[in-house]
Amino acid sequence: MDRPTALDPKVQSRINELIQPIADDLLSGAAELALRAITIFQSVVANQENDLPQVEQKKAALTFAARGMIDAQPAMAPLFHLGNDLLLAIDSATTNEELAERSNAALSKFENTLCASVATIADISYDLIDPGELIFAYSFSSTVVSCLLNARARGRFFRVVCTEARPSMEGRKLASRLAAGGIEVIHTFDNAMGLVLGNCSAAFMGCDCIARAGVINKVGSWMLAVACRELKVPLYALSGTEKFVTDDRMFEFERHERPGVEVWDSAPKGVAMLNQQFDLVPFDLLAGLVTEKGILKEKDIEPYLANFTVHRALKLEPVEVS
Amino acid sequence: MDRPTALDPKVQSRINELIQPIADDLLSGAAELALRAITIFQSVVANQENDLPQVEQKKAALTFAARGMIDAQPAMAPLFHLGNDLLLAIDSATTNEELAERSNAALSKFENTLCASVATIADISYDLIDPGELIFAYSFSSTVVSCLLNARARGRFFRVVCTEARPSMEGRKLASRLAAGGIEVIHTFDNAMGLVLGNCSAAFMGCDCIARAGVINKVGSWMLAVACRELKVPLYALSGTEKFVTDDRMFEFERHERPGVEVWDSAPKGVAMLNQQFDLVPFDLLAGLVTEKGILKEKDIEPYLANFTVHRALKLEPVEVS
């Protein structure tokens, strides 16, 4: 694996400061984080004039930022694709102007695609919301919020049940956003899913990453999926195809263990904490993956899994066997 | 339905004060609450000399206390049986001495039976704990705690995984008790059950009440049971047969909705809270019901369902159709 041009530690620490809020964010979905990441990349492109006079240094700074964002949220596929698209776009730039132009074009294209995807997914999911029914929604996903608010704005009346999504409680953010948009919300805790799901006509979740084995999303999604199957409630993952990753990246989410004190800040001696943020929902537990390309089933995903080139700086290093 | 002898409102409010801590207790299991209820009944029997000179008044006071405790925790079968056994025992008492003697005998017998049951259940469940394995335990049950501590004291080494049991977090009480008893505990939140259950050799839960349709326990037990079946982990409910109730009493637990602020104390307008405390686990999701009579399956329960007389003051009033 090639090494990027050496980067001034001061520049590194400035970029790390920009990325830190992404690492600390436990309430936003993957698409929302990608939109914030675009702003960070734009700021690295715009503010590097003094520190990074040479085009190779600028490339090194953007590579450093891309890797940092992926490391900050290894489960979030759009952060990977955003960085990857950017690095591929600037790879052959030979002047500062060319680099700035190509960066901005790649970032704008990503943002436009993301927004267009959500609009299409909202159109498709409208038909999955039966009038007058109860819809279950899990965790926080800006795509799910957009779809539900869009359906409400188009005059469909329905209610939403959602749960907390411990430990970060981003389910409360979901409840607040939907209520602010005029949707009647019923809120309870995660272990009460079984009491409410049976009354729902469908369940929606977002997702952070999609690979051959299934979709990765906030921990609890697997429990939701198993309960949905038991109660015969169709569960849909709503997600643009920018969430697909190659198999080697799928288990990167397991690197995202959070501090135990977020679960219990005064645990007694002898009690070890486990604070994993994500779990895997196999495709056979989903009624469908609602994307901008339509509702996909397991048999449809193959073309999306390897439908992109990975920049050499973002390839995962193979395990070395000596 | 007969009316009990009219009771002085002052006596009623004194008894209600004694019962209030039982109503407020969200952390104790059913057997533990029954032991505390015994103390309350003993205090009503002992302290009624001045207020209640006549034996019929004492019966009325004990009837009032029995009904109050059942209303405070309608899902907790041992509170029903304790009150029922007491009222049946004193029914034909004609003097104060006879009433005191019969009360104390009934209360002692209930307590002794409860403790003997737990010891037998601990012996049986010892064989369900494989050496070196991981055991999942849900919510708080004094029976489950006794069984795990007994196994540890007998030299079996194993670890326990438990979750919070939102919203009252009595899973933390479980974790603390087990850790204090020298058992290594891993603790996480409820929606992460799916991440840990697959590594467990068995799962244990207590229960609050047993009827023909299944066992009633802390909400989340149904999710646990469905996940256990999916992951092929045997789930055992550990419970004395004093938890059996008649079918008409089974859904009394649904009366136990708690204030929504216990879930979210600052919910925005438009978000309704649901705070139900219990759910029902059908027998077909259980590997067995571990009682002092052995490990029971669904086919074994019939004799226990109607194995008792219900005192006329504790019969549920049928719906009146006019």
DSSP-derived secondary structure letter, B287:
S
Which positions in chain A touch B268 (Cβ < 8 Å)?
Answer: 175-176, 179-180
> Residues B233, B195: contact at Cβ < 8 Å?
no
Q: Residue A269: which of B161, B179, B193 has the nearest Cβ?
A: B179
Distance (Å) from the alpha carbon of A17 to chain B's nearest alpha carbon: 30
What the block records as the tokens of B291 is 């009682």
Number of other CB atoms surrounding residue A321 within 10 Å: 4
String of DSSP letters for A248-292: HHHGGGGG-BPPGGGT-TTPPTTEEE--B-EEEEEGGG-SEEEET
CA distance linking residue B134 with residue B144, whole number of Å:
15
The pLDDT score that the predictor gives to residue A278 is: 92
Q: Residue B179: which of A227, A270, A273 has the nearest Cβ?
A: A270
Which positions in chain A touch B222 (Cβ < 8 Å)?
Answer: 194-195
Q: Residue A268: which of B179, B194, B271 has the nearest Cβ?
A: B179
Kindly tell me the sign of the dihedral angle through the C-alpha atoms of A128, B191, A276, B132.
negative
Dihedral, CA atoms, B104, B109, B111, B112, nearest 10 degrees? Answer: 130
The pLDDT score that the predictor gives to residue A297 is: 96
Classify A126 as helix, strand or coil: helix
Which positions in chain B touch A220 (Cβ < 8 Å)?
Answer: 190-192, 194
> pLDDT for B55-89, tens place per residue?
888 899 999 999 999 999 988 999 999 999 999 99
Distance (Å) from the alpha carbon of A56 to chain B's nearest alpha carbon: 44
CA distance linking residue B23 with residue B84, whole number of Å:
18
Inter-helix orientation angle A30-46/A96-126, to 10°: 160
The pLDDT score that the predictor gives to residue A1 is: 43
Distance (Å) from the alpha carbon of A94 to chain B's nearest alpha carbon: 48
Interface with B, mutate which of A138, A158, A223, A281 (most B CBs under 10 A): A223
**Does the beta-carbon distance from B180 to A230 stay under 8 Å?**
no
Strand-pair category, B214-218 with B278-282: antiparallel
Residue A198: C-alpha distances to residues A134, A281, A301, B36, B196 (Å): 10, 20, 29, 36, 25
Residue B10: C-alpha distances to residues A164, B89, B96, B310 (Å): 43, 26, 21, 28
Which positions in chain B touch A274 (Cβ < 8 Å)?
Answer: 161, 186-188, 192, 195-196
**What distance lies between CA B54 and its chain's CA centroid?**
33
The pLDDT score that the predictor gives to residue B27 is: 87
Interface with B, mutate which of A174, A191, A278 (most B CBs under 10 A): A191
Kindly tell me the sign of the dihedral angle through the C-alpha atoms of A212, A216, A222, A228.
negative
> pLDDT for A196-241, tens place per residue?
999 999 999 999 999 999 999 999 999 999 999 999 999 999 999 9
Q: Residue B189: which of A167, A193, A222 has the nearest Cβ?
A: A167
Residue A227: C-alpha distances to residues A135, A169, A190, A221 (Å): 14, 20, 12, 10
The pLDDT score that the predictor gives to residue A52 is: 62
> pLDDT for B134-176, tens place per residue?
999 999 999 999 999 999 999 999 999 999 999 999 999 999 9
**Does the beta-carbon distance from A172 to B230 stay under 8 Å?**
no
Which stretches in chain A have pLDDT values below 50? 1
Residue B146: C-alpha distances to residues A208, B132, B286, B303 (Å): 42, 19, 20, 27
The pLDDT score that the predictor gives to residue B288 is: 97
**Does the beta-carbon distance from A188 to B274 stay under 8 Å?**
yes
The pLDDT score that the predictor gives to residue A194 is: 96
Dihedral, CA atoms, A28, B165, B275, B22, nearest 10 degrees? Answer: -150
Distance (Å) from the alpha carbon of B278 to chain A's nearest alpha carbon: 9
> Residues B164, B192: contact at Cβ < 8 Å?
no
The mean pLDDT value for B7-15 works out to 89
What the block records as the tokens of A303 is 């073309």
**Does the beta-carbon distance from B270 to A196 stay under 8 Å?**
no
**Does the beta-carbon distance from B190 to A187 stay under 8 Å?**
no
CA distance linking residue A73 with residue A260, whole number of Å:
18
Distance (Å) from the alpha carbon of B175 to chain A's nearest alpha carbon: 7
Its pTM stands at: 0.92
The pLDDT score that the predictor gives to residue A3 is: 54
**Does the beta-carbon distance from A175 to B271 stay under 8 Å?**
yes
CA distance linking residue A156 with residue A122, whole number of Å:
13
Q: Residue B272: which of A180, A185, A274 has the nearest Cβ?
A: A185
The pLDDT score that the predictor gives to residue A50 is: 58
**What distance lies between CA A199 and its chain's CA centroid?**
28
The mean pLDDT value for B200-212 works out to 95
The pLDDT score that the predictor gives to residue A49 is: 55
Classify B291 as helix, strand or coil: strand
> Residues A180, B180: contact at Cβ < 8 Å?
no
Distance (Å) from the alpha carbon of B314 to chain A's nearest alpha carbon: 28
Interface with A, mutate which of B189, B199, B222 (most A CBs under 10 A): B189
**Does the beta-carbon distance from B188 to A273 stay under 8 Å?**
yes
Residue B232: C-alpha distances to residues A224, B69, B194, B226, B285 (Å): 17, 38, 12, 10, 11
Which positions in chain B touch A186 (Cβ < 8 Å)?
Answer: 271-274
- Confidence class of residue B52 from pLDDT cuts 50, 70 and 90? low
Of all residues in chain A, the one with the smallest CA distance to B175 is A271
Give residues with Cβ within 8 angstroms of B185, minimum separation 6: A270, A271, A272, B159, B160, B161, B162, B175, B178, B179
Which positions in chain B touch A164 (Cβ < 8 Å)?
Answer: 166, 263-264
**Does the beta-carbon distance from A191 to B276 stay under 8 Å?**
no
A220-237 burial, b if ≥16 CB within 10 A, otherwise e? Answer: bbbbbbbbbbbbebebbb
Q: Residue B274: which of A180, A192, A268 has the nearest Cβ?
A: A192
E strand or H helix that includes residue A161: strand A159-163
Of all residues in chain B, the one with the smallest CA distance to A220 is B191
The mean pLDDT value for B36-61 works out to 82
Distance (Å) from the alpha carbon of B188 to chain A's nearest alpha carbon: 5
**Does the beta-carbon distance from A192 to B276 stay under 8 Å?**
yes
CA distance linking residue A61 with residue A5, whole number of Å:
9
Give residues with Cβ within 8 angstroms of A71, minimum separation 6: none
The mean pLDDT value for B310-315 works out to 91
> pLDDT for B20-36, tens place per residue?
999 999 888 888 899 99
The pLDDT score that the predictor gives to residue A51 is: 57
Give residues with Cβ within 8 angstroms of A152, minimum separation 6: A158, A181, A182, A183
**Does the beta-carbon distance from A183 to B270 stay under 8 Å?**
yes
Interface with B, mutate which of A271, A274, A279 (most B CBs under 10 A): A271
Distance (Å) from the alpha carbon of A306 to chain B's nearest alpha carbon: 28
What the block records as the tokens of A147 is 């779809």
> Residues B192, B124: contact at Cβ < 8 Å?
no
Q: Which long-range contacts (CB under 8 A, 24 or more apart) does B297-301 make?
A: B301/B210, B301/B212, B301/B244
Q: Residue A271: which of B185, B196, B276 has the nearest Cβ?
A: B185
Which amino acid is residue B288, in one-letter code?
Answer: G
More confident residue, B119 or A256: B119
> Residues B277, B252: contact at Cβ < 8 Å?
no
- Mean pLDDT (chain B) is 92
The pLDDT score that the predictor gives to residue B1 is: 44
**Does the beta-carbon distance from B270 to A186 stay under 8 Å?**
no
Residue A170: C-alpha distances to residues A25, A99, A163, B66, B320 (Å): 10, 38, 9, 43, 46
**Does the beta-carbon distance from A191 to B196 stay under 8 Å?**
no
The pLDDT score that the predictor gives to residue A6 is: 77
